Structure 1
Amino acid sequence: MGHLITVAWELVCGLGILFVILKLLGKTQFSQITPFDFISALILGELVGNAVYDKGVRIWEIIFASLLWGVLIFLIELITQKVKGSRKLLEGEPNIVIRKGKLKYDVLKKNKLDINQLQSLLRQANCFSIQEVEYAILETNGLVSVLPKFIHDTPTNGDLQIKPKQVTLPVTLIIDGEVLYENLKEAGLEERQLEEELKKRNISRAEDVLFAEWKADKPIYVLPYEEKK
């Protein structure tokens, strides 16, 4: 029983350490992961894993090692922000794999990328044929950014000369039966107005609503719990 309590304590401490470090390093640690970020994430996980499964390693040693590693990564991130010349070494650089419709095989080879992998990355960018691509850039996080050829490009509202309209963000009003009063205020609505909208849909309580969303110039979208089933 004592061993289980120790394991639980070490897991809680490890979770806290990782949370603090990831908060310090920022969201890009995983949202825009580079090879260096991947290595740092593996080492952080290994440090915490050792604390749980290696009885010879004390929790304070893992805390010290994790915090030290987090500080080192933070300093490296700071260097890449301040010293532009270090970014290519530590973060890598984007590579153009398709230029003016022509595939750059030497760039693919340099990045250890084959045609099948490139096709998969292009499909993830909503491009299903290499022939439709004017430029394709392999980003440092391993994804491909695509600029399609003119004939395959999607026209914009400006191209179609459509009269401009104000762009607004949708505001969530209810989630899992709970009214988000701050969002309600942001939308310029009162609780009474929300209740009236719910009554129009034969809903008497906000607790019966799974999700509700407001968007300018549109009726409030309401999804009752019964539609979830």
Structure 2
Amino acid sequence: MSYGYIAIELVVGFIMLLILTKLFGKTQISQLTPFDFISALILGELVGNAIYDKNVHLGFILFATFTWALLIIIAEWITQKLRKTRKFLEGEPSIVIRNGLIDRKQLKKNKIDIDQLQNLLRQKDVFSIREVEYAILESNGSLSVLKKPMYATPTKSDLKIPPKPVHLAFPIISDGIVDEENLKEAGFDEAWLSKQLKLNKISNAKEVFYAEWKQDEGFYCQKI
């Protein structure tokens, strides 16, 4: 195999994986179901093995990748249109702690022991099972926790504190480069930015590692 041919296959494989990733949506790694995870691995293996196998031509890579992608798309379409298939194809949540008591049957069904359950709880900042009223093991393996009232974090409504409006922070400078779009979105211009930098004893944006604007807190910056 020539270096040029390998380069072409790599470029084609890269573009195909990029297109398919965009096509499948913006599901995060933590949100992937076991089926999604295995599908992604197989898709990568199809492209990877085909690229370095001299007996496999470019057409085979395209055919295998698009065929596998088509199967995934069909499976996704089926789960969207036919609700009854979701349990089989995507799995279903399991209540592993109910009314403060561990459901041993659900732990056994999902092949999780008490140590693994405690590990998942600690990832939710829960260090004692007595704090939990309900815990649901999601189909992607993550754990959702509802604490007992006495252990739950009080909200502003509980404390009768009037709510304040929430404002989005606009990153203005990153690694010395001004983000013109965010600056305009925040409602300012270069003159305003220069003034803010001078107030912070900075002569040039290139001296700034990071800067942002937040309506309720104003301008913030950190030098390189």
Q: What TM-score results when the alignment is normalised by the length of structure 2?
A: 0.95
The alpha-carbon deviation at position 55 of structure 1 amounts to 1.1
Q: Tell me, yes or no, if the aligned pair for 2:167 and 2:216 is still in contact at 8 Å.
A: no
1:8 has 2:1 as partner: no
Structure 1 stretches (4+) deviating beyond 6 angstroms? none
The alpha-carbon deviation at position 28 of structure 1 amounts to 1.6
Which 5+ residue runs of structure 2 have no aligned equivalent? Answer: none
Amino acid at match of 1:197: Q
Deviations 1:193-227 (A, max 9, x none): 111111111111112211111111213110111xx
Identity, % of aligned positions = 56
Q: Tell me, yes or no, if the aligned pair for 1:22 and 1:29 is still in contact at 8 Å.
A: no
Q: Corresponding residue for 2:195?
A: 196
Aligned-partner Cα distance in 1 for 2:132–2:88? 29
The alpha-carbon deviation at position 57 of structure 1 amounts to 1.0
CA gap 1:29/1:194 in 2 versus in 1, 3 angstroms:
closer
Q: What TM-score results when the alignment is normalised by the length of structure 1?
A: 0.93
Aligned-partner Cα distance in 1 for 2:119–2:79? 31
1:80 has 2:83 as partner: no
**Range with bigger deviation, 19-28 or 29-38:** 29-38
- After superposition, the CA RMSD in angstroms is 1.4
CA gap 1:58/1:66 in 2 versus in 1, 3 angstroms:
same
Q: Corresponding residue for 1:159?
A: 158
**Range with bigger deviation, 56-65 or 100-109:** 56-65
Aligned-partner Cα distance in 2 for 1:10–1:208? 43
**Range with bigger deviation, 3-12 or 163-172:** 3-12
Aligned-partner Cα distance in 1 for 2:124–2:59? 45
Q: Tell me, yes or no, if the aligned pair for 1:29 and 1:37 is still in contact at 8 Å.
A: no
Q: Tell me, yes or no, if the aligned pair for 1:133 and 1:146 is still in contact at 8 Å.
A: yes
Q: Corresponding residue for 1:205?
A: 204
Deviations 1:12-44 (A, max 9, x none): 211111111111111226341101101211110
Q: Corresponding residue for 2:131?
A: 132
Q: Corresponding residue for 1:32?
A: 31
Q: Tell me, yes or no, if the aligned pair for 2:172 and 2:180 is still in contact at 8 Å.
A: yes
Partner-residue secondary structure (3-state), 1:211? strand
Which 5+ residue runs of structure 1 have no aligned equivalent? Answer: none
Aligned residues: 224
